[in-house]
A and B are shown apart, each in its own frame.
Chain A
Amino acid sequence: AQSVSQHNHHVILSEAASLELGCNYSYGGTVNLFWYVQYPGQHLQLLLKYFSGDPLVKGIKGFEAEFIKSKFSFNLRKPSVQWSDTAEYFCAVNWPSSASKIIFGSGTRLSIRP
């Protein structure tokens, strides 16, 4: 079955720390990969996406993600977090066999200590 796993439910970091949030999906082939972010009290918005090409994808606000096909992973990274990065982060995957669906991971809540 198609599934998306986010291993960290809650991550707490201090400002300026480096961030890596894990995302794995159940099986490969051609996939589209997304990271969405939900800031407190706001709606989900797209951080970045991967469709093809360079597996290192740059997104907004200094975020990046690396697609590693052999590991079925699409981890999100940021070298130095800010307090304003406090939010919930969702990994999402789109498979061609279920092209009408984006399957979301359970989310990782990121708390940044000022």
Chain B
Amino acid sequence: DAGVIQSPRHEVTEMGQEVTLRCKPISGHNSLFWYRQTMMRGLELLIYFNNNVPIDDSGMPEDRFSAKMPNASFSTLKIQPSEPRDSAVYFCASSIGGAWGNEQFFGPGTRLTVL
């Protein structure tokens, strides 16, 4: 079982550049979550998809951030333009049946550094 797959594992970019993070959830899972982890703010939910539809994007910090899930096996998180304060580890997680009462399976994360 491959688990949740994220790419790239590390990304270093310069301020103003576009960054795209990718996630492949576990096959059969119908919910997908994007989180951001920083020292200051801990682990924060950015957006939650259920059956490929965004259900809760209240955690998306601003319009520079966008997320898509074109099909059940792929999601992207895009930052355009990127800023140094976006530096963080971004995790993708998936579950069966949504967040309520279900275990979330996390990917290895993408460590983003914006210079």
Could you tell me which A residues sit within 8 Å of B by CB distance?
A: 32, 34, 36, 42-46, 49, 51, 90, 94, 96, 99-107
Contact = CB atoms under 8 A, between A and B. Distances in A.
B91 interface: yes
A39 to B, nearest CB: 12
A94 B107 contact: no
Contact of B103 (A49, A96, A99): A49
Contact of B43 (A49, A90, A100): A90
B100 A96 contact: yes
Contacts of B101: 32, 51, 94
A6 to B, nearest CB: 9
B55 A43 contact: no
A100 B91 contact: no
Given A32-B101, A94-B99, A107-B42, A43 B48 contact: no
Interface in B63-115: 91, 93, 98-101, 103-109
Contact of A99 (B44, B45, B98, B107): B98
Contacts of B93: 44
